[in-house]
Amino acid sequence: MQRLLDKVSCAALCFALLSITRVQLKPLGEQEKMIQLEAVKKSILDRLGLHKPPVIREKLDRDELRKMHWLYQEKLMELRGNLTKDETPERRVHLLTPRIERSTKKGDLQRSSSHHYNLVFSRTQTFHQRLNIMRAELKLCKHILAALRPAAANSSTKVIANIYKVVESRNANGGPESKLLDSKPIDKDTLTLNVNMAVQQWLASSDKCLRLELVITLDAPFVSDGSKQIESEDALVLEVETQEKTFFKTRKGRSVAADEDCKKSEKKCCRKSLTVSFEQIGWSDWIVHPSTYEMRFCDGSCPHNYKPASMHAQIKYRMHHINGNTPAPCCVPGSYDPMVLMHYNAERKLVFTVFEDMIVKKCHCA
């Protein structure tokens, strides 16, 4: 009983002293944040080889600072490219053959120096909106080019292949309009026309078909056999190289790993975040960019078979469950995103420092 009274008296005395000295008791959450901020500050200084923040008296002028910002962005792009190099999906080539129709809207084609062909391409199941277009080329097959050579030999000018995208006219009474995509002379064994822009727009839309117009101009008669060959199914092929879309972080810092964040009342292994403002901690005078840092850390329990990092983690849990002598798996970072710090160093020069393992991307149990 006496011990209990002593403890109560001690607690009352401590509370009285705190009241007299006007020390405010902070919630546990605020205390944790202060500890985390101090840990961040200490870790950054240690990594940079600094005992304390440098004192900056003279800063770069506006033009020099703009140049450094440009170099900073280049460094970020380089890092992102290296980071996703191994994760980039393989590229795939799609070969689309068109339905070819001879156009008669230009008048008597037997007398005309231009020959027009309507090309209609249809979507396939593997050609969907979740793809990025890396390259899109319309290729004329070798036997078509061979058929055009006699006409080219009798022509005083070069035989030109033009490819147009057919679009609806903006005029109320007007018919379809043609927009030039590429134009090349037929003077080689192979010929490819760039239709990248048209294919990108087609893929992003909900249109089922892409309509192009091929126009071959020459001032010599084009024999009927050649015309028939162009109208054949194997005359032209649209070769499109694609890649599955990847989603980088947006300006707000969200990414495809956002589902790693702890949900409300989540107690299992997940990712927590704390935004650190370099201005609020008094470091904005020597850390130029970024202005804030989103500190992420892994926390939570690791029950059986939950986010196991490896087979070893699963065995580790079973051994812990059997005898308790083996430590249970812990919630730890599984991968990181890099961060580039633009700051003044000990010599008061503006430099870049890359932190490869500072931003937690995913958490797992190990």
Residue 53 is which amino acid? Answer: P
User: For the chain, what is the mean pLDDT?
Assistant: 76
What is the mean pLDDT of the segment spanning 14-27? 40
Supply the pLDDT for residue 132. 83
Q: Which of 244, 269, 293 is the last residue of a domain?
A: 244
Residue 5 lies in a domain: no
Same domain? 78 vs 100: no
Residue 217 lies in a domain: yes
Residue 275 lies in a domain: yes
3-state SS assignment for residue 52: coil
* Centroid of chain to Cα 206: 23
Q: How many structural domains are present in the chain?
A: 2
Residue 17 lies in a domain: no
Residue 348's CATH number: 2.10.90.10
Residue 12 lies in a domain: no
Same domain? 66 vs 103: no
- 366 closest CA partner among 311, 325, 324, 326: 311
Same domain? 310 vs 190: no
Same domain? 264 vs 287: yes
Contacts of residue 53, defined as CB under 8 A and 6 or more positions apart, other chains included, come to: 45, 282, 283, 285, 286
Q: What digits encode the pLDDT tens for the residues 24-78?
A: 434 446 787 788 888 888 989 998 888 899 888 887 777 788 788 888 887 877 7
Note whether 239 and 194 are within 8 A (CB).
Answer: no
The residue range of the domain holding 102 is: 92-244
At residue 23 the predicted structure's pLDDT band, cuts being 50, 70 and 90, is very low
Could you give the C-alpha distances from 257 to 77, 264, 296, 359, in angstroms and in order?
19, 17, 12, 12
d(CA 166, CA 170): 12
Token digits of residue 46? 């240690």
Q: Is the pLDDT of residue 18 over 70?
A: no
Stronger pLDDT, 1 or 63, i.e. the higher one: 63
Q: Which H/E stretch holds residue 136?
A: strand 131-140
Q: Which of 244, 271, 292 is the last residue of a domain?
A: 244
Same domain? 224 vs 262: no
For Cα atoms 29, 35, 41, give the angle at the middle one, nearest 5 degrees. Answer: 135
Q: What is the number of other CB atoms lying within 10 angstroms of the CB of residue 278?
A: 21
d(CA 144, CA 181): 20
Same domain? 54 vs 113: no
Enumerate long-range contacts of 276-283, CB under 8 Å, 24 or more apart. 276/37, 276/40, 281/37, 281/41, 282/53, 283/41, 283/53
Same domain? 120 vs 228: yes
At 142, give phi and psi (nearest 5°).
Answer: -60, -40
Residue 309 lies in a domain: yes
Q: Which H/E stretch holds residue 322?
A: helix 311-323
Q: What percent of the chain shows pLDDT beyond 90?
A: 13
Question: Given the structure tokens 């990108």, which residue do they identify?
Answer: 200
Same domain? 269 vs 299: yes
Q: Which of 196, 218, 244 is the last residue of a domain?
A: 244
At residue 150 the predicted structure's pLDDT band, cuts being 50, 70 and 90, is low
Residue 203's CATH number: 2.60.120
| pTM for the whole structure | 0.45
Residue 15 lies in a domain: no
d(CA 57, CA 59): 7
Q: Which H/E stretch holds residue 134?
A: strand 131-140
Same domain? 208 vs 281: no
Same domain? 113 vs 235: yes
Residue 175 lies in a domain: yes
Same domain? 223 vs 126: yes
Supply the pLDDT for residue 287. 92
Residue 38 is which amino acid? Answer: E
Same domain? 174 vs 60: no
